[in-house]
């Protein structure tokens, strides 16, 4: 028997796995589009709730459609009491992404549409998950600090309500707005690892909760969701602006990587970084201390300059300035990846709904690298 010729692409790079209307990326030009709308337009004009509607429905909502969506999200923010009780029994030092994965999986027990996998029921589950993932992340923070989770405030936006439930005080408008933009920027990114994991699971016709639990598992890995936490650790390790040059040059000279810089798809500025850079600076100025922005900016300047000398187009990615932005918003570093999920649930669920609407089981082939034609040897003769 001969082996078939190799056709595999390592990591499925550049393999187009399926049509999708949800998100378009042009990595050479630095373009990111959510179903027709350039990310810059959405970041400047829209709200996270509008983007959620766009991702789910393929068009922006009118006023009454947006009001309806807001009302449904607000009505679904509270967690079932059983899930809070279960979360209180988690170890105090639980990794937040593991707590989130487990709590989301448990939510499926209490969903009024459990057992119903119709498209309509799946859309209702998408609303509940989008509303409740933010509540879970805030509750993780409260519970591990020995505090009772706070009830959501219906008058607050999704972004402002999350910051309120986590910090115990309502955010300033500028803070809520910055977080809202961060949610818009992270809402979808085509067939990244966690979205693809969600679609693979949905492709078996497993339910929305199974698909989203798969996605959260994929997001938890350091090659996907964790780079912004590493950026903040680096900033804290460097400590001050005057130490930046020495740290960065030493890292580059020893062929180390500066976290938050470079991207597998973008060969120019990651369009999301443009907004996060501005937000990091604005929040710093507002708080009267631009130290973290200034350090980040200097790091970026050096790395980009050094890379240009080697003719490499390496620029800041979405994680680079989200680190200092989140830090100044008072978000603990180990919540940066769960926060990614607060936003990305919108994209994940849109992809799951799209997968269900035109389903085909996702089942690639492997490139076999094992032996052929071995002769079975009885166990006592091996």
Which residues are catalytically annotated?
Answer: 263, 319
Near ligand COA by CB under 6 A: residue from 61, 149, 152, 262? 262
Q: Output the DSSP codes for 219-250.
A: HTSTTTT-HHHHHHHHHHHH-SGGGHHHHHHH
Query: What six digits make up the tokens of 131?
Result: 């509303």
Q: How many residues bind ligand COA (CB under 6 A)?
A: 14
Stretch that binds ligand COA, among 51-59, 75-83, 260-268, 373-381 (CB under 6 A): 260-268
Stretch that binds ligand COA, among 94-102, 195-203, 252-260, 368-376 (CB under 6 A): 252-260
259 binds ligand COA (CB under 6 A): yes
Helix (H) or strand (E) holding 109: helix 96-110
In the chain the first and final C-alpha atoms are separated, in Å, by 24
**Residues near 97 by beta carbon (within 8 Å), at least 6 away in sequence:** 216, 219, 220, 225, 337, 338, 341
264 binds ligand COA (CB under 6 A): yes
HSE (side-chain half, CA atoms, 13 Å) at 201: 23
Site string for ligand COA, 289-328 (x = CB under 6 A): -----------------------x-x--xxx---------
Choice between 176 and 261, CB closer to ligand COA: 261
Site string for ligand COA, 193-232 (x = CB under 6 A): ----------------------------------x-----
Choice between 133 and 227, CB closer to ligand COA: 227
263 binds ligand COA (CB under 6 A): yes
- Report the residue count for the chain: 382
In whole angstroms, the minimum distance from the beta carbon of 316 to ligand COA comes to 9
In whole angstroms, the minimum distance from the beta carbon of 296 to ligand COA comes to 13
Choice between 263 and 275, CB closer to ligand COA: 263
Cβ pair 166, 140 in contact under 8 A: no
Query: What six digits make up the tokens of 109?
Result: 């027990």
258 binds ligand COA (CB under 6 A): yes
Return d(Cα 297, Cα 244) in angstroms, integer.
10
Return d(Cα 192, Cα 274) in angstroms, integer.
20
Near ligand COA by CB under 6 A: residue from 202, 248, 261, 329? 261
In whole angstroms, the minimum distance from the beta carbon of 298 to ligand COA comes to 15
In whole angstroms, the minimum distance from the beta carbon of 35 to ligand COA comes to 22
Return d(Cα 250, Cα 55) in angstroms, integer.
43
In whole angstroms, the minimum distance from the beta carbon of 263 to ligand COA comes to 5
Return d(Cα 133, Cα 48) in angstroms, integer.
14
Choice between 61 and 260, CB closer to ligand COA: 260
In whole angstroms, the minimum distance from the beta carbon of 23 to ligand COA comes to 15
SS3 sequence of 52-87: HHHHHHCCCCCHHHHHHHHHHHHHCCCCCHHHHHHH
Choice between 314 and 331, CB closer to ligand COA: 314
271 binds ligand COA (CB under 6 A): no
260 binds ligand COA (CB under 6 A): yes
Return d(Cα 162, Cα 131) in angstroms, integer.
10
- CA 87 vs CA 39, 83, 107, 269: distances in Å: 36, 6, 11, 40
Stretch that binds ligand COA, among 29-37, 257-265, 272-280, 339-347 (CB under 6 A): 257-265
Choice between 260 and 332, CB closer to ligand COA: 260
Residue nearest to ligand COA (CB): 262
Choice between 21 and 249, CB closer to ligand COA: 249
Closest to 160 measured CA to CA, from 138, 145, 140, 190: 138
In whole angstroms, the minimum distance from the beta carbon of 251 to ligand COA comes to 7
Query: What six digits make up the tokens of 53?
Result: 């509607």
Query: What six digits make up the tokens of 287?
Result: 């708080």
Which parts of this chain interact with ligand COA (CB under 6 A)? Answer: 227, 257-264, 312, 314, 317-319
């Amino acid at each position: 028997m001969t082996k078939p010729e190799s056709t595999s692409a390592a990591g499925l790079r550049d393999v187009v796995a399926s049509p999708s209307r949800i998100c378009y990326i042009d990595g050479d030009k630095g373009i990111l589009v959510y179903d027709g709308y350039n990310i810059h337009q959405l970041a400047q004009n829209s709200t996270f709730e509008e983007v959620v509607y766009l991702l789910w429905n393929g068009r922006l909502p009118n006023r009454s459609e947006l009001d309806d969506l807001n009302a449904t999200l607000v009505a679904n923010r509270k967690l079932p009491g059983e899930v809070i009780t279960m979360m209180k029994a988690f170890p105090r030092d639980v990794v937040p992404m593991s707590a989130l994965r487990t709590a989301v999986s448990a939510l499926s027990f209490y969903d009024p549409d459990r057992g119903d996998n119709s498209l309509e029921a799946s859309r209702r589950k998408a609303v509940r998950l989008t509303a409740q993932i933010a509540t879970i992340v805030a509750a993780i923070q409260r519970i591990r600090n020995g505090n009772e989770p706070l009830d959501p405030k219906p008058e607050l936006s999704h972004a402002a309500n999350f910051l309120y439930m986590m910090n115990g005080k309502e955010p300033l408008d500028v803070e809520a707005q910055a977080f809202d933009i961060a949610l818009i920027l992270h809402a979808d990114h085509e067939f990244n690892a966690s979205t693809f994991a969600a679609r693979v699971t949905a492709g078996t016709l497993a339910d929305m909760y199974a698909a989203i639990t798969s996605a959260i598992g994929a997001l938890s890995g350091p090659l996907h969701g964790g780079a912004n936490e590493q950026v903040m650790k680096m900033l804290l390790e460097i400590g001050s602006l005057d130490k930046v040059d020495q740290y960065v040059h030493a890292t580059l000279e020893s062929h180390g990587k500066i976290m938050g810089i470079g991207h597998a798809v973008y060969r120019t500025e990651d369009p999301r970084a443009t907004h996060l850079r501005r937000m990091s600076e604005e929040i710093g100025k507002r708080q009267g201390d631009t130290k973290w922005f200034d350090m980040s900016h200097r790091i970026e300047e050096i790395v980009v300059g050094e890379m240009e000398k080697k003719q490499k187009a390496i620029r800041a990615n979405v994680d680079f300035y989200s680190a200092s932005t989140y830090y100044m918003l008072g978000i603990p570093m180990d919540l940066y990846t769960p926060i990614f999920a607060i936003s990305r649930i919108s994209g994940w669920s849109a992809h799951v709904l799209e997968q269900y609407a035109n389903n085909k089981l996702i089942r690639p082939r492997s490139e076999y690298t094992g032996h052929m034609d071995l002769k079975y040897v009885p166990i006592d003769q091996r």
